[in-house]
Structure 1
Amino acid sequence: MLHLHLKECDSTQLYLKENFKDLFLKDSYVLISTDKQLKGIGRNGNRWDDYPNALTFSFLLKPTINVITIPLAAGIILCQYIKEQWGADLNLKWPNDLINCHCQKCGGIICQYIDHESIICGIGLNLGYSKKLSGEQNYKTPAGVIKANVKLSSQDRKIIPRNIYDYFLSYDFSNLNIKKDFEKTCSHLNKQVSITDTNKEWIGIFQGITDNGEALLKSSDSKINTFISGSLNVLEK
């Protein structure tokens, strides 16, 4: 494994993507972590804000399952790791958010397909308390943390991402039942949600996912619509 820990960078995802060829020549397993991320990237071009006691890092994965399901698989595995390490029970919001027991978003996952050998997996985790985060009101899903009493040192920002990456690399993705495992931890199963897809909003009851990770939404006329991507907002708490 090649692990580069940066004092600061615009985005660990962009750093890994822009330097992919040179880094991949050195090792096919690469991790980029940082003390401070300045211009984090979320889904659909949205920003991912970096806060005190938060982690931001990106790494390479080799696709061993359907690439469409890898973000969901990463969420399932990450929830398992967090439960083992910090005793926190998290849920998942389709397609890529981690939700704490207060229905607050405390993490996110972005996956970018590079080629048949490599996918960049970018992770942001609001691990511990931040006064700045607690006052933030500009998110559709309220922001929160995983474990309020956690305080991160610079060394933690280097070691914890490496431990998480080691956990991912040791995990046999083929043992996952994506549909069953996701639905077991889904925060909005059988709840009313909206999904915005190609500038159109759909409202219905979230029925789960297909084996390929597509969202299943039951509309008021009982029709089931499927979505391979989109932005989901929970309407029923």
Structure 2
Amino acid sequence: MSIHHLHFNSIHSTQVYLRDNLTELQTHSENVLITTNEQSLGVGRKGNKWDSYPNSLAMSFTLKPNNIPTMTPIEIGILSSQFFSHKFKKLIFLKWPNDLLTGEGEKCGGIIAQYINQSTVIVGVGLNFKTAHSINYPTHYKHGLGSIDFEKELTYKELLDVSINLYQYILENRIQSASDLQETFKDKCFHIGKEVIIDDDDKDYHGKFLGIGTNGEAIVEIEGIKKSFISSSLKILH
């Protein structure tokens, strides 16, 4: 499966670069991967800034949408978790809708999926790996900011290989069945069966997280009643 890959030492945003140059880049291959050693204006969910740190993975790539387009970020989260488990024996858990967590529940990465058209989604993946240097992580993350420990600091070449291999794994292992995605998400979800707060349209809902529906929506039990949330933020209660 051919991939057109561009790597930058530094860039403002892999997501923005890929979006702005998509037509020209896809003349080489429909599968385009953009990676960088450093990005200054990484894009997170709902336009938020994604903070990038040394020894971190920053990549954006093209992908055909899932058969259920709203399931695309869920699918990428599952495949990313599977990749690091199979390839490196590292546990990465999922937090609805698009966060990657360590085994301790700290955010170590995130996923953004930007729908372009019926044949293309631009996916961004950011993931922090443990570094030998002390880093002053910001304190505004709900559950703290963590990292995946590789027992050493990865070289730029090793980080690049991880990015390419992850993209290849995603392309070759798509999960199109809604029921398969629901079951696998349940296995990978850090907060399944836990008490959560859902922020939906500036209103908080407190309940037990039960899983996801067939469109990737969160299913939460609130006072004995199941309620669905399709585009909200979630806080895990400990």
Compute the TM-score of the two structures, normalised by the length of structure 1: 0.93
Task: Write the deviation string for residues 40-67 of structure 1: whole angstroms up to 9, x where unpaired.
Answer: 1111222111111111000000124211
SS of equivalent to 1:173: coil
User: Cα gap change, 1:3/1:33 in structure 2, threshold over 3 Å: closer, same or farther?
Assistant: same
Residue 75 (structure 2) pairs with residue 69 (structure 1): no
Q: In structure 1, what is the Cα distance between the partners aligned to 2:231 and 2:55? A: 30
Does structure 2 retain, via aligned residues, the 8 Å contact 1:134–1:143? Answer: no
- Give the distance between the partners of 1:64 and 1:121, measured in 2 at CA: 12
Deviation at 1:139, TM superposition (A): 1.2
Number of equivalent positions: 235
Query: What is the CA–CA distance in structure 1 between the aligned matches of 2:157 and 2:133, rounded to whole Å?
Result: 22
* Native 8 Å contact 1:133 1:143 kept in 2: no
Give the alignment partner of residue 217 of structure 1, picking from 216, 220, 225. 220
* Cα deviation code 1:94-153 (max 9, x no counterpart): 011111111111111100100111001100011223645464322112111111523122
2:173 is matched with which residue: 171, 174, 179? 171
Match runs of 1:30-69 below 5 Å:
30-69=32-71
Distance in 1 of aligned mates of 2:136 and 2:149: 13
Q: Which residue of 1 aligns with 2:211?
A: 208
Q: Aligned partner of 2:200: which letter?
A: D
* 1:150–1:108 distance in 2 versus 1, CA, 3 Å: farther
Distance 1:132 1:50, change over 3 A: farther
Q: Tell me if the contact between 2:132 and 2:153 (Cα under 8 Å) persists in the aligned partners.
A: no
Contact preservation (8 Å) 1:217, 1:225: yes
Name the aligned partner's letter for residue 199 of structure 1: D
Deviation at 1:175, TM superposition (A): 5.9
Query: How big is the alpha-carbon RMSD for the aligned residues of Structure 1 and Structure 2?
Result: 1.6
Residue among 133, 139, 142 paired with 2:141: 139
Give the one of 16, 27, 39 matched to 1:14: 16
Separation in 1 of the partners of 2:187 and 2:130? 25
Note if contact 1:31-1:57 (Cα within 8 Å) is conserved in structure 2: yes
Equivalents in 2 of 1:132, 1:40: separation in Å?
A: 21
Matched, 1:187 2:190: yes
Contact 1:51 1:130 in 2 (8 A): no
Conservation of the 8 A alpha-carbon contact between 2:137 and 2:145: no
Alpha-carbon distance, 1:157 to partner: 3.1
CA distance in 1, matches of 2:20, 2:201: 28
Q: How does 1:97-116 map to 2 (within 5 A)?
A: 97-116=99-118
1:93–1:99 CA contact under 8 A, matched in 2: yes
Q: Where does structure 1 lack aligned partners over 5 or more consecutive residues? A: none
**Greater mean deviation of Cα atoms: 28-37 or 204-213:** 204-213
Change (3 A) 1:59 1:160: same
Give the match for residue 197 of structure 1: 200
Counterpart contact for 2:132–2:152, Cα < 8 Å: no
Deviates further, 47-56 or 149-158: 149-158
Q: What's 1:118 paired with? A: 120
TM-score by length of 2: 0.93
Q: CA deviation at 1:91?
A: 1.2
